[in-house]
Structure 1
Amino acid sequence: MNNQQVVVIGSLNYDLLLKQKRLPQKGETFMADSLIQGPGGKGANQAVQCAKLGLSTSMIGKVGEDRFGEALIGSLQASGTNVDFINKKGTTGMGIVNVLPDGDYHSTLLRGANYLITKEDIDRSLDVITSCQYILLQQEIPSEIVDYIIEKTKDVECQIVLNNAPAREINDTSLSAINILVVNETEAEFMSGSQVDSIKTAHKVAELLVSKVKDIVILTLGSLGVVIATKKETFYTPANKVDAIDATGAGDSFIGAFVFCLLEGYSLKKAAEVATLVSSMTVSRSGGSESFPTLAELNEHALFQKS
């Protein structure tokens, strides 16, 4: 399965989403209102959004030898993602997510099989990795594997997209090979040492970070929108105003949609507008990747048209 448009290398988690009024205090037992369970993991989420928008997408990663792993593979297949490069070992990674009434969430991850991916797994998949147009990476697999992937692909024509989430230190060599760096406010603060508390400070931090990567920095600001910096310009795109129900996976939805737009030939500003629309549709629904919009849904929006 060569010549894929997108190859996603990263995490696959089975998520348990607890919808509740607030978080419990220390030592307190607090009752949740409802439970939603289903597929998750930043890697799998990004792959699903790409595939739902019609991109030829392959997922590379590991799940456990259990029913959760089977469910994750099934959900990816249902979205149209190629799963030939997903292996099974150990127990599946899990995500425990507390979703609050404003749509915000708190997440705890069990690494599981995500941390069993090896350099040999990457080597066996190099043909499909190096022949794609975009490689999507996150930080829910071992950092040495992420560095290894970047080293192996830095001289090929494919574009490397790194979502530095959860935030980690990245060596200068790896950072300089990244075409598109995606971070939120917290991750941007970690990488820059500067606070991101407004659109103005987001501009400054994005401009600082873009000097360290090859091409583009995307700094997402949740309900405020997104700041994008290139070597030549920095611009802001506001968020769409919606009734937020569940923000789980919204950043992954944005990334998948942004890459889709670039492959479709949209300008950066238009890509930011469309990706912001996609993430706003995601937060207005409950659940993880099953809430991500499809291409048919996007075609109903005037904003989606190139003109």
Structure 2
Amino acid sequence: MITNQQVAVIGSLNYDLLIKQERLPKKGETFTADELIQGSGGKGANQAAQCAKLGLSTSMIGKVGEDRFGEALTGSLQAFGVNVDYVGKKGTTGMGIVNVLPDGDYHSTLLRGANYLITKEDIDESLEVITNCQYVLLQQEIPLSIIEYIIEKTRGAACKLVLNNAPARDMNETKLAAINILVVNETEAEFMSGCKVDSIESAHEVAQKLVKKVKDTVILTLGALGVVVATKDGSIYTPAKKVVAVDATGAGDSFIGAFVYCLIEGYTLQKATDFATSVSSITVSRVGGSESFPTLNEVKGLTNKPIGI
């Protein structure tokens, strides 16, 4: 059993089919796409991949199917350096069907598959790894009951919980209050707050409203506009890097993995946000899921800036 991991990611593993096309078809229309790209995905697997590619010791906890897609997913994570001892196999693998448009934006449909077969017993079996990590990363592509069970089982443990509330779900107030870092985009923030996020100013207001619901921090990502990070003491804004975006798939997951890397390395929130923004900007300038995520050496080379606190 490997227990000395820095990060445990509990969540989804999806095999992605990325379809590059000029536009979405209209109702009843058959539209011809330009290219099919296959690869590893799922918010959980993506975040684990980015953590590992930046050099963090990372364990993935989840479920894949008893099929070639599951083999491909675990093999990909292992190649990135992720421990997959706690990835079980049952049923059919979750799938992501992603329509990628010329501006890099995308529309995604998920098939739940084995992601929804993870059980409380699976969490119990991996609990020693989970509670001994510095950070535990959660998303909402597995059953909510499992997310809530993890929150309860880690109460009193030293690990810090990061929740990417995507896709957005209503959370019990007590459970949400146990989350150290909440990560949402504009749509998810609006769902949770009931307030529109349509500007940097409104993002500050909503982030400051949401941070009252969690322990420490709210990260509100704004796509091409950048990101707002709020704590109990206030909020900061970091603009997005100017790049030619070709595929935004996994950009948010890449940001989260990079942000957690920075926290473990002792960066300030501002420097962590700057670094994570650089990492996600590299991701959107490439096609694909976790294969497009940069390593630490690539970040250093492509940003041409010193990495440090």
- 1:168 counterpart SS class: coil
For 1:150, the equivalent position in structure 2 comes to 151
The one-character-per-residue Cα deviations of 1:134-155 (angstroms, maximum 9, x if unpaired) are 0000000000000100111121
For 2:236, the equivalent position in structure 1 comes to 235
Partner amino acid, structure 2, of 1:123: D
Tell me the distance in 1 between the aligned counterparts of 2:66 and 2:217: 38
- Offset at 1:304? 4.7
- Offset at 1:88? 0.1
- Offset at 1:298? 1.6
For 1:27, the equivalent position in structure 2 comes to 28
The within-5 A match list for 1:74-89 is 74-89=75-90
Tell me the distance in 1 between the aligned counterparts of 2:33 and 2:300: 37
Q: Tell me, yes or no, if the aligned pair for 1:12 and 1:44 is still in contact at 8 Å.
A: yes
Are 2:39 and 1:38 equivalent residues in the alignment? yes
For 2:227, the equivalent position in structure 1 comes to 226
Tell me the distance in 2 between the aligned counterparts of 1:305 and 1:49: 17
The one-character-per-residue Cα deviations of 1:123-144 (angstroms, maximum 9, x if unpaired) are 0000000000000000000000
Q: Tell me, yes or no, if the aligned pair for 1:19 and 1:100 is still in contact at 8 Å.
A: yes
Tell me the distance in 1 between the aligned counterparts of 2:275 and 2:127: 31
Partner amino acid, structure 1, of 2:83: N
Tell me the distance in 2 between the aligned counterparts of 1:270 and 1:116: 38
Q: Tell me, yes or no, if the aligned pair for 1:274 and 1:304 is still in contact at 8 Å.
A: no
The one-character-per-residue Cα deviations of 1:241-292 (angstroms, maximum 9, x if unpaired) are 0000000000000000000001111000000000000000000000000000
Tell me the distance in 2 between the aligned counterparts of 1:146 and 1:189: 21
Are 2:76 and 1:70 equivalent residues in the alignment? no
Name whichever of 174-183 and 150-159 sits farther off.
150-159
For 2:12, the equivalent position in structure 1 comes to 11
For 1:306, the equivalent position in structure 2 comes to 308
For 1:112, the equivalent position in structure 2 comes to 113
The one-character-per-residue Cα deviations of 1:169-212 (angstroms, maximum 9, x if unpaired) are 00001110000000000000000000000000000000000001
For 2:248, the equivalent position in structure 1 comes to 247
Tell me the distance in 2 between the aligned counterparts of 1:213 and 1:35: 40
Tell me the distance in 1 between the aligned counterparts of 2:307 and 2:276: 13
- Offset at 1:302? 4.0
For 2:264, the equivalent position in structure 1 comes to 263
Tell me the distance in 2 between the aligned counterparts of 1:175 and 1:226: 21
- 2:227 counterpart SS class: strand
- 2:191 counterpart SS class: helix
Tell me the distance in 2 between the aligned counterparts of 1:290 and 1:298: 14
Tell me the distance in 2 between the aligned counterparts of 1:43 and 1:252: 8
For 2:191, the equivalent position in structure 1 comes to 190
Tell me the distance in 1 between the aligned counterparts of 2:192 and 2:21: 32
Are 2:133 and 1:140 equivalent residues in the alignment? no
Gaps of at least 5 residues in structure 1 are: none
For 2:216, the equivalent position in structure 1 comes to 215
Output the aligned Cα RMSD.
0.7
Gaps of at least 5 residues in structure 2 are: none
- Offset at 1:3? 1.8
Q: TM-score, normalising length from structure 2?
A: 0.98
